[in-house]
């Protein structure tokens, strides 16, 4: 049987008992986005309070197949996919999971919810794929190892991003701070002391794929000018790693501002992101920068309990549509 994806709410069967819930968090890149695509290190942390969840209900008549109901995800469906020609990323994820686990299609409905804003640099696509992968594995009575899930979500990321470094799926699947170098073994990062960030959303959706593609064009047109910028980002990421691990949080603010300036040179900031960064710093944040693909999406600001409320207000006054707080803890 094929896979059917429904626009939410699910027709008729929505009162069924939920049997399994799986989830995955959002992420933010603290340092090193874009340069990480070129082999430089980057640091990312999960945002566990913002999640994508997948609930499994075994409500379908035997042989009816898998249904995916995508709440909050703006799906334009139903789509029924009987062939290998896959035109929907959720169906493609489900197929890949079942193929990887060598499982037959279960007769269940999986309902997806995501509290993670889409196309905003917070990893919503990877989190939804990871939650779906976990739920579907449970539905076929198998445990999917993080390593397998990570490889699978990376495959899906390629369809969203083209040439992803792999940092987003890694931090989301392992739900741990990571120091990431493309192609190197995963390095989980100890956190020396807790620090708090505000995440300010410009409200402007931006496709990472386009920003990454534009940086590629810039690089190919003038590698002599761009390579030193990437190297400089790599060097500051290494300094940030030492500061984070040793709990020297006061070092991070200036490094964030430097990283933002270098991202501006890579043309991935925007007027709105620059405004939010400036507003945060003027309101007392120790540092701020765009986070993720840029050109819109989110920025982050380093705050203390004393500065947090002031900075939050300043971000809202400067046009942020949402402000989330997250604390990175040891």
CA dihedral 191, 180, 236, 177 (to 10 degrees): -20
The CA-based angle 168-172-175, given to 5 degrees, is 135
272 binding ligand MEV? (CB under 6 A): no
Decide whether 34 or 113 has the Cβ nearer to ligand MEV: 34
164 binding ligand MEV? (CB under 6 A): yes
At closest approach, how far in Å is the CB of 300 from ligand MEV? 12
Decide whether 182 or 239 has the Cβ nearer to ligand MEV: 182
**Cβ contact 198:324 at 8 Å:** yes
> In the range 205-224, which residues lie near ligand MEV by CB under 6 A?
208, 212
Which positions are catalytic?
168
**Cβ contact 23:60 at 8 Å:** no
Residue 183 sits at φ, ψ, to 5 deg, of 85, -15
Q: Can you name the residues that pair with 6 across neighbouring β-strands?
A: 69
Q: Which of 168, 175, 201, 272 binds ligand MEV (CB under 6 A)?
A: 168
135 binding ligand MEV? (CB under 6 A): no
Q: 218-242: buried (b, 16+ CB within 10 Å) or exposed (e) per residue?
A: bbeeeeeebeebbebbbebbebbbe
Q: Which of 25, 34, 60, 199 binds ligand MEV (CB under 6 A)?
A: 34
Q: Tokens 């900075």 belong to which residue?
A: 311
Q: Which of 46, 106, 117, 121 binds ligand MEV (CB under 6 A)?
A: 121
DSSP 243-260: HHHHT-GGGHHHHHHHHH
At closest approach, how far in Å is the CB of 225 from ligand MEV? 19
At closest approach, how far in Å is the CB of 215 from ligand MEV? 8
36 binding ligand MEV? (CB under 6 A): yes
Residues that bind ligand MEV (CB under 6 A): 29, 33-34, 36-37, 121, 161, 164-165, 167-168, 208, 212, 292-293
């Amino acid at each position: 049987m094929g896979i059917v994806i429904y626009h939410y709410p699910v027709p008729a069967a929505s009162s069924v008992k939920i049997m399994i819930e799986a989830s995955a968090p959002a992420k933010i890149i603290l340092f090193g986005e874009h340069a990480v695509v070129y082999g430089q290190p980057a640091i990312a942390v999960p945002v566990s309070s913002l999640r994508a969840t997948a609930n499994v209900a075994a409500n379908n008549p035997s042989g009816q197949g898998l249904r995916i109901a995508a709440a909050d995800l703006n799906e334009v469906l139903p789509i029924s996919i009987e062939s290998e020609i896959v035109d929907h990323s959720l169906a493609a994820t489900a197929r890949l999971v079942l193929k990887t686990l060598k499982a037959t299609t279960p007769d269940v409905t999986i309902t997806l919810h995501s509290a993670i804003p889409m196309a905003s640099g917070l990893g919503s696509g990877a989190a939804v794929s990871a939650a779906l992968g976990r739920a579907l594995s449970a539905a076929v009575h198998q445990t999917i190892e993080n390593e397998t899930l990570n490889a699978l979500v990376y495959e899906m990321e390629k369809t969203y991003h083209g040439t992803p470094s792999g940092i987003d799926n890694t931090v989301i699947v392992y739900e741990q701070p990571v120091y990431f170098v493309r192609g190197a073994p995963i390095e989980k990062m100890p956190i020396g002391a807790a620090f708090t960030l505000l995440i300010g959303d410009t409200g402007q959706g931006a496709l990472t794929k386009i920003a990454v593609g534009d940086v590629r064009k810039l690089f190919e047109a003038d590698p002599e000018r761009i390579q030193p910028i990437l190297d400089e980002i790599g060097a500051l990421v290494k300094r940030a790693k030492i500061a984070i691990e040793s709990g020297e949080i006061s070092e991070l603010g200036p490094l964030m501002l430097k990283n933002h300036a270098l991202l501006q040179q890579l043309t991935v900031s925007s007027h709105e992101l620059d405004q939010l960064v400036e507003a945060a710093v003027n309101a007392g944040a120790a540092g701020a920068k765009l986070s993720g693909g840029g050109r819109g999406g989110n920025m982050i600001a380093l705050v203390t309990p004393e500065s947090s409320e002031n900075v939050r207000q300043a971000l809202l006054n400067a046009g942020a549509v949402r402000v989330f707080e997250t604390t990175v803890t040891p």
